[in-house]
A and B are shown apart, each in its own frame.
Chain A
Amino acid sequence: MTDLLIKNGRVIDPAHDIDAVCDVWIADGRIEGVGSFSGVAAQSIDAWGLIVCPGLIDMHVHLREPGQEWKEDIESGSQSAVAGGITTICTMPNTQPRIDHAGIVLQVIVRAKEVGLCNLRPVGAVTRNLDGKELTEMRELSRAGAVAFSDDGRPVWHSGVMRKALEYSASFGYLIIQHAEDLQLTKGGAVNEGWVSTQLGVAGMPVEGEDSMIARDIMLTRRAKARYHVAHISSKGAVEQVRLAKREGLQVTTEAAPHHFALTEDEVLHFNVDAKMSPPLRTEEDRLAVIEGLRDGTIEVIATDHAPHHEDDKRCGLSCAAFGIVGLETMLPVSLDLVRAGILTMPDMIAKMTSNPAKLLNLPEGKLSIGNAADICIFDADKTWVLDKEKMFTKGRNTPWHGRTMTGQVRFTIKDGRVVFENA
């Protein structure tokens, strides 16, 4: 018998090119049908006026467990994810210890299953201990469940190591995700280098730090015929390089974080530590370039770079505060601004958080296929609410959106057919 019926919602499933008001019904934790339901369901949700889509995927998340559980752990991070409509998160390996061998991959996956709120798909380290020197056992990590490889938090900086990483991963079809930053150019920097850093008297991180590393990596990707993904793209020059690489037919992809298309460096004009992250908020010109990249498909994924920190790591002045902001609970409303502004259609926006990252990472999630695990997000695109950082589910309080009005609210998050989050 059907367990749960979601009635009369606007069902958007980009993978199947569906955008229609209809029903979705679930049995045994799996999707039983999409269309017009006739029969009896044990439970039902009236989704009239709401959008029903596959559970969202955030392919760039830092959960801090193991090692820094006071900042975030898998339980609080999972709660935060489902509160944001997200049912699959890809977690970066810069935990302590690093996710650089199979045991840790398995450990975090098992822990997430115990919590039971969302899928955790770890990203394995490219190099042992993220030291940028020796490659990890990527095949072993992959078999244990790693879905891609990255040293995120820092770049694979050494050109020789990056070349080997791209060549080795290309042999097996793995994706390398690069935190593109030339650390010599960004040394000591806290914010974007430009007029704002000049006025603050704070050392800057120039766009060339990002752009030059992407330029090098694209050359190496061309030679290796590898799959290369630029994490959290933030600059105009970087977007343009990815666009050209795509045009050339290289397997170069990228993601943008909501803060990079919603905010600019002006946020730090008053030393706001909750607007400090790497790469930093850039200029309006860069922001518009990221938006254009999202619009024309150069940027196929929206991902948050959710980076929770304890207040102690932020309460010390702009230049010594930790890099990073939380993002899981604000990804959807901030991204919906792009739809309201007419830049993306609703299905396009949803694709960038469901089918596109799923395709990139070969995940079974991100679509409403019959028989698939019933991971579903139901949201009200127009509902306004005010973000109160004290009421967030993440342990991090480091958000630049505190006190601001958000438009778009998750109403139900369903994982394996079970309602794991509800906003009445």
Chain B
Amino acid sequence: MPEPLFGLKHLFGIGDLNRDQITSLVNLGEDFIDINERDLKKAPTLRGRTIINLFFENSTRTRTSFEIAGKRLSADVINISASTSATSKGETLLDTAQTLAAMQPHVLVIRHSIAGTCEFLAEYLDETKLINAGDGAHEHPTQILTDLLTLKRSIGDITGKTMTIVGDISHSRVARSHLLAAKIMGYKVRLVAPKTLLPSFVERYGCEVFYDFDAALEGTDILYMLRVQSERLTESSCFPSIREYHEAYGLNMKRLRAAGDHCMVMHPGPMNRGVEIATDVADSMKSLILQQVEHGVAVRMAALTALCGGATKE
């Protein structure tokens, strides 16, 4: 098996990484942007490597992003989604993972609704490297590396900058991973949400918490909008209506202007236009949303390379 780079064993979460590892992954991702921009989008880095994307939750962008990342580096990439997998026949998550691992892939990229899925599987899988592509509301490390690369290229050094994350913090793995990354990388996080969408003791991450979106705008460098899931409205009454949510916590042009000219807008996607973000904001010059998607491929190339692109150990 190839030797992983940067001292990585797996990629479970931002919380397991140190500053050097994060910086190295982001820088390696930046090096890969070039391949994505040129006409012939292929490099031999991962030739002979097998990567399985095992997705138990719906995903278009993350799965496609991993697939393209692997293919552009010449790896063999197989996609498995829960609806087509054996889990619908009653096989357990562990059996599915062990079965796939027995086919000797180098990397399993896993998304699952249960927090800690990769940590759990790693206890039973010996050789296979695992990348967490989102586990419940726990972590989503490649999204954060994507965001850090995007910020590096748009605003430069992020140290001391303020990122204001707005929306369903409770159920957001992106928010948690950013809260961890902020501590490691030295940026500040403000959270904006009604109490129904904030988890207990969230301030212990060392962030500021606002219930009033407008009060959080001044001094914000990055407005990070989270997707609002409709089941939070229908099943758990976390807010009374889309209309009221958009009025209180939606990002519109007025709020973007109040934040100041320097302020950039991010969203991990997929967006609900007119709910957490107004269309004119999403399409504005301040929006980094499509760059996030673009850089996502580069960062995932970096993550795959870090885990299985090193020199092969005989």
Contacts and interface: CB of A to CB of B under 8 A. Distances in A.
B200 A201 contact: no
A40 interface: no
Interface stretch (B70-78, B133-141, B182-190, B221-229): B133-141
A258 to B, nearest CB: 25
Interface in B88-121: 92-94, 112, 114-117, 119-120
Interface stretch (A139-147, A164-172, A190-198): A190-198
Given A270-B119, A315-B94, A316-B93, A200 B138 contact: yes
B173 interface: yes
B313 interface: no
A271 B93 contact: no
A197 B200 contact: yes
Contact of A200 (B93, B112, B115, B204): B115
B200 A317 contact: no
Nearest to B136: A201
Given A201-B137, A201-B139, A202-B138, A195 B92 contact: no
A38 interface: no
A198 B180 CA distance: 12
B173 A195 contact: no
B295 interface: no
A271 B115 contact: yes
B8 interface: no
A193 B199 CA distance: 9
B243 to A, nearest CB: 26
B151 interface: no
Interface residues of B, number: 22
B131 to A, nearest CB: 17
A307 interface: no
Interface size grouping (class) on chain A: 20 to 34
Nearest to A204: B200
B92 A201 contact: no
B115 A198 contact: no
Interface string A268-292: 0011010000000000000000000
Interface in A146-205: 193-195, 197-202, 204
B120 A197 contact: no
A271 B119 contact: yes
Contact of A194 (B117, B173, B176, B200): B200
A209 B115 CA distance: 22
Interface in B130-174: 135-139, 173
Contacts of B92: 312, 315-316
A204 B137 CA distance: 12
Interface in B178-209: 199-202, 204
A197 B199 contact: yes
Nearest to B169: A198
Of residues B116, B137, B201, which shows the largest number of chain A Cβ atoms within 10 Å of its Cβ? B116
Of residues A194, A201, A206, A271, which shows the largest number of chain B Cβ atoms within 10 Å of its Cβ? A201
Given A201-B137, A201-B173, A317 B116 contact: yes
Nearest to A270: B119
B115 A202 contact: yes
Given A198-B202, A201-B139, A317 B176 contact: no
Contacts of B138: 200-202
A271 B116 contact: yes
Contact of B201 (A195, A201, A202): A195
A23 to B, nearest CB: 51
A201 B136 CA distance: 7
Contacts of A206: 200
A370 to B, nearest CB: 54
A210 to B, nearest CB: 15
B235 to A, nearest CB: 10
Given A201-B139, A201-B173, A202-B136, A317 B202 contact: no
Nearest to A190: B115
A24 to B, nearest CB: 48
Given A194-B201, A201-B135, 16 more contacts: A195-B201, A197-B200, A198-B204, A201-B115, A201-B136, A201-B139, A202-B115, A202-B116, A202-B137, A315-B120, A316-B93, A317-B116, A317-B117, A318-B115, A318-B120, A319-B114
29 contacts: A193-B200, A195-B200, A195-B204, A197-B199, A197-B200, A199-B176, A200-B116, A201-B115, A201-B135, A201-B176, A202-B115, A204-B199, A270-B119, A271-B115, A271-B120, A273-B120, A312-B92, A315-B94, A315-B120, A316-B92, A316-B114, A317-B93, A317-B115, A317-B116, A317-B117, A317-B120, A318-B114, A319-B114, A319-B136
Interface of A: 193-195, 197-202, 204, 206, 270-271, 273, 312, 315-320
| Chain A to chain B: the 10 pairs with minimum beta-carbon distance, closest first | A201-B137, A201-B138, A271-B116, A317-B114, A198-B199, A195-B201, A201-B115, A317-B120, A202-B115, A319-B114
